[in-house]
Amino acid sequence: MDAFIELRGVRKAWNEGLPNQFWAVDGIDLDLARGCVTLLTGPSGSGKTTLLTLLGALSRPTEGRVRLAGEDVSSLPERFLTERRRHNFGFVFQQFNLIRGLSVLENVMLPAYPLAPPHGELRARALQLLRELGLEHRSEARVEWLSGGEAQRAAIARALINDPPVIIADEPTANLDTHLSMAFLAIVERLKAQGRTVILSSHDALVSEAPVVDRIVSLRDGKVVG
């Protein structure tokens, strides 16, 4: 299967040029196939979150190259990189990052505003996503009123609003109990069935043992170890 995302010799330094500089990602070659579920695992500080930001074009490598569908995106000007990110990636952050004071529906619609779709079409798509995730009845609720599982589903709907081929989730079950974690994995199965590429980071055994996961990439000290 052809690689959809490719990393070659990728290194990422934090605090570059300062006495406390360190390599969060240190020399990674990695190919991720389209339509597969990949899990990044490893202890705290192993480089999982930094690698996710590189895979999702949220940050640039200090050294090396990142390719998306064959295109080198490592050195693209920021406005072009932002465009690639907006069209290709949906992100589910560990703390969800929903905007308090706005409704669930408004949060879901927000990432699509820069693409300027007709408002009626955007609203209908957002409501359809919430319906598919069993959250339509909470569409007008402010996000601070949601339970943990509801907030996660709202974050997933927001990640899907631009119909991206890649979904990236950082420690998606960290704040969920077993029941809600299983519900999240069922959603991942649906995303995979739709042909989406899913990249997760987690040290949760429930995730690493899930049948939906196609590949586990183990990290330690910024390097791939398995």
Q: Could you give the domains of the chain? A: 36-53+78-224 (3.40.50.300)
Q: 63 with 108: CB under 8 angstroms?
A: no
Place of tokens 């957002």: 126
Nearest to 191 by CA among 50, 67, 65, 35: 35
Which contacts of 15-19 are long-range, i.e. CB under 8 A and separated by 24 or more positions?
16/62
Q: Which two tokens stand for residue 208?
A: 């690493």
Q: What is the pTM of this model?
A: 0.91
Ordered per-residue pLDDT tens for the chain, 226 residues: 578 999 999 999 988 888 888 899 999 999 999 999 999 999 988 999 999 999 999 999 999 999 999 999 988 899 899 999 989 999 998 888 999 999 999 999 999 998 888 999 999 999 999 999 999 999 999 999 999 889 999 999 999 999 999 999 999 888 788 988 898 999 999 999 999 999 999 989 999 999 999 999 999 999 999 7
